[in-house]
């Protein structure tokens, strides 16, 4: 079943009319069965729509509801007029046929229904195919032999047996119908029993919240916890989430339980605050049903307000597959959640099928590297490369990083070296009750400083040989050379040391059990490409060694027994080669950073120049418009620069017919421009006439050096 995927209120169709199909719900069906005479021959068909969950994932829940409504119409059309049809669950219908004539008639009806439901559905202009599987139970005791009567289905058992037949059909013959036979009920019975126990568990509050700590790779301190639900079963004890979370989602109970987990986690965060741990964060997982519930952001807001926890300290975790259910609806919901101030993270990153375009488009804050990549990060080059790529991608998108499933020192050291932000896993702490978190926080627990802070850089040499005497001899020979010397008795030990230390040069034997030197150095090249790798051996498969040298896995091949001075010279040369390579890499990175800075500066300069050009164009346009406006004004205007030179005479002024001598005389009689004023009005006598005028300095206040425009009001008079 995928009842949990339909986004419907279970109560809306259990006891009344189903809102999606208009059919009676489960409660009405049960009442109908209970009201039938006990000796009536009936057939009950449980009809399950195949692949409806996939349709919901691809096209959204509304598409699924449209298919349900259309399927209900098709079943009603093909069923007997006297039949009773109900929607029993998320993608299940129940068809009750009374007064059954014979087996063949019911089989014919079932086959017709399957054929009808397999026809395409037109959804949003597209043809989609769903199909159906049917389980059938009979109460035809009159047609059973005496020996079979003990196995006959009663009306009380009809629904139970039809569902058992349906479960069996979905396993062995999906897309067909199957008649109930004894022996089909145990598996379904266990499932129904578990559903019943979970309903009781929700009602009685049998769930617990455990908290798994997360620690910073920089400071080593605990930065927050992830809230994880546990079921404290009365007889079985702690039940793992994998056994009950899917059923909670399918039955719709996850809504209630999820809200309880979120409220409990926020209350715990507030309790830590009272103890002085007021910078911790809390991560809570979000299920599919919650993600498609349009009221979910309001529920989160209410719980945050109730607990008094700042929204930015709550992180909601979503899996990649959840994000892809309905991208448009998910995007809207995530932005609504983001508007509350909460942080959003993608759990199990790299195991789903999300697009990086969506990752850039959605308001995600954090990426969690899945434990499947962390598990073999120190031994599997592919996992190491994927982890490195995820970290690089997250950095470029300004996302925080959490690596989960960290269980060893080597894994932690490798993640620290790759610049991961935060780690989570059994090495930091297992999920624990709230009381244990208080003790953990009070202890001031931190990651071991030697694992998160790499030692001061010195020339570090790793010697790998399965013979202890060879290792001892090499250490005696090289101890006065000033190297930091590490040693391992096998390739596996060598990989552990490489994960924990910044190694420059590796010298490895070739003939070692489980892993040859060539195999070890090939892995070292993939995992730690900056190391310089050499083989020191008295025996070698020269072809494989030559191939490894040609492919860059081995820098040099040295023979046993060795010449002391020659060996020291070769190792010193390897260190110099490494240091030259490091320096080239450093310079390349610095040049790259300088180029990035230069590119940013050039882009900023280009933006500035574009803005200046735009402003200049706007200024020129404004000046041109102003000049045209002044020229067209019906009021005579004379424009002067600060030195008194005439720079503008508009058409109205020219129309006064004043000759040049009179204009010069007029300008000469204008009062000197006041240094403390920006405007004035006056009357001026010139050329035997009195002029009414007003002046304005258009420069900014305090700087009277701008252009002066003299506005002559009215006409000159005697």
Domain boundaries, the chain: 3-194, 205-452, 460-583, 633-712
Task: State the Cα–Cα distance between residues 161 and 33, nearest whole angstrom.
Answer: 13
449 in Cβ contact with 424 (< 8 Å): no
Under a CB-based contact definition with an 8 Å cutoff, are residues 254 and 287 in contact? yes
pLDDT tens readout for residues 55-82: 776 677 778 888 899 999 999 988 878 8
Q: Using DSSP, how many helices (H) and how many strands (E) does the chain show?
A: 26, 26
Predicted local distance difference test score (pLDDT) of residue 642? 67
DSSP annotation of 150 reads G
Report the topology of domain 633-712: Beta-Lactamase (3.30.450)
Residues of the chain with pLDDT under 70: 1-16, 54, 57-58, 140-152, 171, 173, 183, 185-192, 250, 320-328, 350-358, 453-456, 540-544, 548, 552, 593, 642-643, 669-682, 684-689, 693, 695-718
**CA distances, 218 to each of 283, 448, 503 (Å):** 20, 11, 21
User: Smallest Cα–Cα separation from 318: which of 299, 298, 296?
Assistant: 296
Q: How high is the pLDDT of residue 303?
A: 95
- CA neighbor of 347 nearest in space, from 360, 332, 331, 366: 366
Domain 205-452 has CATH 3.20.20.450: yes
Q: Positive or negative CA dihedral for 119, 120, 122, 125?
A: negative
**Predicted structure pTM score:** 0.53
DSSP string, 640-669: E-TTS-EEEE-HHHHTT---HHHHHHHHHH
For residues 646-677, b (16+ Cβ closer than 10 Å) or e, as one string? eebbbebbeebebeeebbeebbeebeebeeee
For residue 323, what are the CA distances in angstroms to 60, 231, 330, 664? 12, 27, 6, 81
Matching CATH topology for 460-583 and 633-712? no
Q: What does the pLDDT read at residue 342? A: 95
Look-up of token digits 């110099």: 576
Element holding 168 (H helix, E strand): helix 158-172
Domain at 460-583: CATH architecture: 3-Layer(aba) Sandwich (3.40)
pLDDT the model gives residue 15: 46
Q: Using an 8 Å Cβ cutoff, are 63 and 56 in contact?
A: yes
Confidence (pLDDT) at 314: 96
Which token pair is 25? Answer: 């719900």
Question: Which pLDDT tens digit goes with each residue over 255-286?
Answer: 889 999 999 999 999 999 999 998 899 999 98
* Cβ atoms 154, 138 nearer than 8 A: no
Structure tokens at 591: 């040049």
Report, at the CATH architecture level, how domain 3-194 is classified.
Answer: 2-Layer Sandwich (3.30)
Neighbours of 442 (CB within 10 A): 11
Question: What is the reported pLDDT for 261?
Answer: 94
């Amino acid at each position: 079943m995928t009842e949990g995927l339909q986004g419907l209120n279970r109560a809306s169709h259990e006891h009344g009319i189903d809102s999606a199909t208009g059919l009676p719900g489960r409660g009405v069906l049960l009442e109908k069965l209970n009201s039938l005479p006990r000796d009536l021959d009936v057939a009950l068909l449980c009809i399950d729509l195949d692949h409806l969950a996939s349709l919901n994932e691809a096209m959204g829940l509304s598409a699924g509801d449209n298919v349900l409504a259309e399927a209900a119409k098709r079943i009603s059309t093909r069923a007997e007029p006297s039949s009773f049809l109900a929607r029993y669950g998320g993608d299940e219908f129940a068809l009750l046929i009374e007064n059954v004539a014979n087996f063949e008639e019911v089989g014919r009806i079932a086959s017709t229904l399957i054929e009808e439901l397999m026809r395409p559905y037109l959804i949003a202009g597209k043809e989609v195919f769903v199909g159906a599987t049917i389980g059938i139970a009979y109460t035809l005791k009159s047609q059973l032999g005496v020996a079979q009567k003990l196995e006959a289905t009663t009306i009380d058992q009809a629904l139970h047996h039809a569902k058992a037949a349906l479960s069996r059909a979905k396993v062995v013959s999906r897309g067909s119908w199957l008649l109930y036979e004894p022996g089909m009920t145990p598996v379904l019975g266990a499932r129904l029993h578990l559903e019943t126990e979970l309903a009781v568990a929700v009602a009685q509050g049998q769930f617990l919240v455990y908290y798994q700590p997360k620690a910073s790779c920089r400071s080593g301190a605990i930065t927050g916890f992830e809230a994880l639900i546990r079921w404290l079963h009365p007889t079985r004890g702690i039940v793992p989430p994998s056994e009950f979370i899917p059923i909670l989602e399918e039955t719709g109970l996850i809504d209630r339980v999820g809200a309880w987990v979120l409220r409990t986690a926020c209350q715990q965060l507030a309790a830590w605050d009272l103890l002085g741990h007021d910078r911790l964060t809390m991560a809570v997982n979000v299920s599919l049903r919650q993600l498609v519930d349009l009221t979910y952001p309001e529920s989160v807001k209410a719980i945050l307000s109730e607990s008094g926890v700042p929204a930015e300290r709550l992180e909601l975790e979503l899996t990649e597959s959840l994000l892809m259910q309905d991208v448009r609806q998910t995007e809207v919901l995530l932005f609504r959640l983001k508007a509350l101030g909460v942080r959003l993270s993608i759990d199990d990153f790299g195991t789903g099928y999300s697009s990086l375009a969506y990752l850039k488009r959605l308001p995600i804050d954090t990426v969690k590297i899945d434990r499947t990549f962390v598990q073999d990060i120190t031994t599997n080059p592919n996992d190491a490369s994927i982890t490195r790529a995820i970290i690089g991608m997250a950095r470029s998108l300004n996302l925080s990083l959490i690596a989960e499933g960290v269980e060893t020192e080597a894994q932690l050291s490798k993640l620290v070296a790759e610049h991961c932000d935060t780690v989570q896993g059994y090495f930091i702490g297992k999920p624990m009750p709230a009381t244990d978190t208080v003790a953990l926080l009070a202890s001031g627990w931190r990651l071991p400083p030697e694992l998160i802070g790499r030692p001061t850089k010195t020339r570090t040499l790793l010697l790998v040989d399965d013979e202890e005497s060879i290792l001892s001899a090499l250490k005696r020979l090289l101890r006065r050379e000033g190297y930091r010397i590490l040693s391992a008795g096998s390739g596996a030990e060598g990989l552990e040391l490489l994960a924990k230390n910044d190694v420059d040069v590796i010298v490895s034997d070739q003939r070692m059990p489980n892993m040859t030197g060539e195999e070890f150095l090939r892995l070292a090249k993939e995992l730690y490409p900056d190391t310089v790798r050499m083989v020191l051996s008295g025996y070698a498969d020269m072809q494989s060694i030559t191939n490894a040298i040609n492919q860059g896995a081995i820098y040099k091949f040295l023979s046993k027994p060795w010449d002391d001075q020659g060996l020291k010279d070769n190792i010193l040369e390897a260190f110099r080669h490494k240091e030259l390579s490091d320096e080239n890499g450093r310079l390349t990175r610095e040049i790259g950073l300088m180029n990035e800075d230069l590119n940013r500066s050039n882009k900023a300069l280009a933006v500035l120049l574009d803005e200046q050009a735009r402003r200049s164009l706007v200024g020129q346009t404004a000046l041109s418009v102003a000049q045209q406006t002044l020229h067209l004004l019906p009021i005579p205007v004379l424009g002067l620069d600060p030195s008194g030179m005439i720079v503008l005479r508009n058409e109205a002024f020219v129309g006064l017919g004043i000759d040049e001598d009179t204009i010069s005389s007029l300008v000469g009689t204008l009062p000197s421009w006041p240094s403390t004023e920006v405007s004035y009005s006056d009357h001026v006598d010139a050329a035997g006439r009195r002029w009414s005028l007003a002046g304005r300095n258009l420069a900014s206040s305090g700087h009277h050096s701008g252009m002066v425009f003299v506005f002559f009001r009215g006409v000159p008079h005697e």
